[in-house]
Structure 1
Amino acid sequence: MNRIPGQAYLWLAVVIFGASSAVTRKLTEIGAHQFRGEQNPISLCNVLFVGNLCALLVLLIIYRRQWHRATLRQLSQQQWLGLILVAILAGALAPGLIFQALSLTPVTNVVLVGRLEPPLTLALSFWLLRERVNAWQVLGAIAAFLGVALTIVLQPVREPMIQMAGFQIGGGELLAALGAIALAIASILGKQWLSKVPLGIFSIVRTGLGTLIFFGVALVLYGPRHFMGAFSPFLWQWMLLYGVIIVVVGQSFWIVGTRASSVSTASIVGSCVPIAGILAAYLILGEVPIQAQYIGGIVILLGLCLGQIGIQRQIDPKAAMGSMRSVPTEQAIAAKMGFKGI
């Protein structure tokens, strides 16, 4: 394993994470064809729930040394409150919204609209945390926001559509945007309150508590029957593909890659996840980008490039060469990557 460069693991993780949304949609389509007229066990809720359980298992194995009573007792009430809020926003609310968006709109739209997260995070960081930003970052954020707006506004009319501020917005696009907003707020909370929390504890609490909250909310909204297919052999047959490859292998490759690479490298490679997502939607689902997606995607890609230039100019050279060990750094890189299947 030591002979393989850290960047190779990062790129493999990017390919896997990029394919997650397309694979999720494909699995639900397989289940719908298999169980016509019956409850589809490969529902988006079941995929999210079981996938998160797989992710939690991986995180517990990797970060087991950080998860002990002495470390947990050192966390303050404010840090625990921050962990709970981040778990609600990033571990339960955002994934639920994004998975629901996948059922209403093409995967490419979800990927592109999800790019709303980085400019929102940058704006909130400047406004609430008084973080310094340079002109490149501002231009990148404006371009990314404009690209998302063009993707939404130029979409052809289809159901369900929602009237907002004089524009017709697709229901799926709106849910993806709300998911991005939830992730941006979670990033700000992580920067403000959780900078000294060990990354392993942060990841485990976010995933574990987020899964429990999502499960509880879904039970209240949809009833116990909604998860009746969660233990279906047909579901677990396909979840071996999703859970093992998308979650376990993807997460493991990413963690190994970040430990063997610099923050700067991880940031650059991670920003390619949306591109991989669009390619996966085409290869797996046959989604050919429409004009709105081409226009919005090109502008968003320009924003990513400008923002990356700004980050490289602003980042401390010593920090850039170090590995990803802190919660704010992990969240900053995750914001560039977008949705990763969990």
Structure 2
Amino acid sequence: MPPLLVIFIGVLSVSASAIFVKLSTAESGTIAFYRMFLSVLIMLPLFLKNNLHELKEIRSRDWVFSTIAGILLAFHFILWFESLRYTSVASSTVLVTLQPLFAIFGTYFFFKEKITLKSVLAMIIAIGGSFLISWGDFQVGGTAFYGDILALIACALVTGYMLFGQDLRRRIGLTTYTIIVYTVSAVTLAIYMLVKGESFTTDDPMNWLWFLLLAIVPNLLGHNLFNWALKYVSANTISIAILFEPVGASIMAFLVFGEVLISSQYIGGAIVIIGILLYVIDFKQLFKLFQKNY
């Protein structure tokens, strides 16, 4: 499949993540743990059948990088899920998807990728649209501001996870890479829960449904598709595309929770899409195709 189509499906899948978290009554660490743990359980039979032998081929350096990526992913989920307790879905998802602010410079310093004028312009447009989406939700102080700070830190952590993944996916297969990182993340979250004294059980039976949906939809459809795409595209491309997540999440939040969208959020959504299109479309190739046909 075309990598950009895969990324689009992935973005739609992760857009549902904030909704499932908001519906759950469990603690943030518990939600994050079961999201990763159930993902590992679902993938394990496939891994044991087809990919177990690949573990012998992984270098020690890649084990270290995979461990760091798993730890970053674990704390990304903890902080982001916690932010949803304090601020709106729109504000939280906007801030957590501002990865280009970090990724565009991370890929420049670590992978020597050039920063083009088009990518900078696309980033500015998309980020501007993202802020406009949640203009009515941002607050100067109080609990909403605290939630915004948590979401911003979570954004930095997931960008680090993506950058390590971009390097690792060039040498490690998708299933093997994912099972390693998700296992490390689940173990990290289990240790976190033990230290914090959070419960591995829940009094609300519906939470188990939200845990399972988080594992299947955002993880196995969302993040797995991003991991697959990292072999073919830059982390910058995925980070820009993920800016579409607040659009989908805001619509879902309106349908499920009645979080009303104001006019600035509709306009912001359109601006985000324009920024994404500007970044991913090769206009020179498009112009050549137009000349050839017309």
TM range (shorter): 0.7 to 0.9
Identity of aligned residues (%): 20
Contact 2:94 2:131 in 1 (8 A): no
Matched residues, number: 275
Q: Distance in 2 between matches of 1:307 and 1:159?
A: 36
Give the secondary-structure state (helix, strand or coil) at the position aligned to 2:86.
Answer: coil
When residues 113 and 250 of structure 1 are mapped into structure 2, their CA distance, relative to the original with a 3 A threshold, is closer
Could you state the TM-score of these two structures normalised by the residue count of structure 1?
0.67
Residue 339 of structure 1 corresponds to which residue in structure 2?
none
- 1:215-258 CA-to-partner distances (Å, cap 9, x unmatched) read 212332x23xx21xx323x44x2134223334225655566999
Q: Distance in 1 between matches of 2:220 and 2:45?
A: 10
Offset of residue 56 of structure 1? 1.1
Residue 23 of structure 1 corresponds to which residue in structure 2?
20
Contact 1:21 1:102 in 2 (8 A): yes
The answer to whether residue 97 in structure 2 is matched with residue 115 in structure 1 is yes
The answer to whether residue 60 in structure 2 is matched with residue 77 in structure 1 is yes
Residue 292 of structure 2 corresponds to which residue in structure 1?
none
Q: Distance in 1 between matches of 2:97 and 2:8?
A: 20
Residue 3 of structure 1 corresponds to which residue in structure 2?
none
Give the secondary-structure state (helix, strand or coil) at the position aligned to 2:40.
Answer: helix
| Structure 2 letter corresponding to 1:219 | L
Contact 1:140 1:307 in 2 (8 A): yes
Q: Distance in 1 between matches of 2:106 and 2:242?
A: 21
Give the secondary-structure state (helix, strand or coil) at the position aligned to 1:195.
Answer: coil
Offset of residue 271 of structure 1? 6.6
Offset of residue 86 of structure 1? 0.3
Contact 2:39 2:220 in 1 (8 A): no
Residue 287 of structure 1 corresponds to which residue in structure 2?
259
Residue 195 of structure 1 corresponds to which residue in structure 2?
170
Offset of residue 270 of structure 1? 6.9
Give the secondary-structure state (helix, strand or coil) at the position aligned to 1:231.
Answer: coil
- 1:295-317 CA-to-partner distances (Å, cap 9, x unmatched) read 65454333222222259969xxx
Q: Distance in 2 between matches of 1:256 and 1:83?
A: 17
Q: Distance in 2 between matches of 1:248 and 1:312?
A: 38
Residue 159 of structure 1 corresponds to which residue in structure 2?
142
When residues 191 and 248 of structure 1 are mapped into structure 2, their CA distance, relative to the original with a 3 A threshold, is closer
The answer to whether residue 154 in structure 2 is matched with residue 179 in structure 1 is yes
Give the secondary-structure state (helix, strand or coil) at the position aligned to 1:63.
Answer: helix
Give the secondary-structure state (helix, strand or coil) at the position aligned to 1:289.
Answer: coil
Q: Distance in 2 between matches of 1:124 and 1:9?
A: 23
Offset of residue 202 of structure 1? 1.2
Q: Distance in 1 between matches of 2:194 and 2:217?
A: 29
Offset of residue 193 of structure 1? 4.5
Contact 2:91 2:148 in 1 (8 A): yes
Residue 231 of structure 1 corresponds to which residue in structure 2?
201
**Alignment gaps of 5+ in structure 1:** 1-6, 29-41, 162-169, 315-342
The answer to whether residue 215 in structure 2 is matched with residue 247 in structure 1 is yes
Q: CA RMSD in A?
A: 3.7
Q: Distance in 1 between matches of 2:284 and 2:244?
A: 16
- Please list, as runs of the form range in 1=range in 2, the aligned pairs for 1:299-318 lying within 5 A after superposition: 299-309=271-281
User: Which range moves more in the overlay, 198-207 or 266-275?
Assistant: 266-275
- Please list, as runs of the form range in 1=range in 2, the aligned pairs for 1:47-58 lying within 5 A after superposition: 47-58=31-42
- 1:132-152 CA-to-partner distances (Å, cap 9, x unmatched) read 344322211222344456678
Could you state the TM-score of these two structures normalised by the residue count of structure 2?
0.77
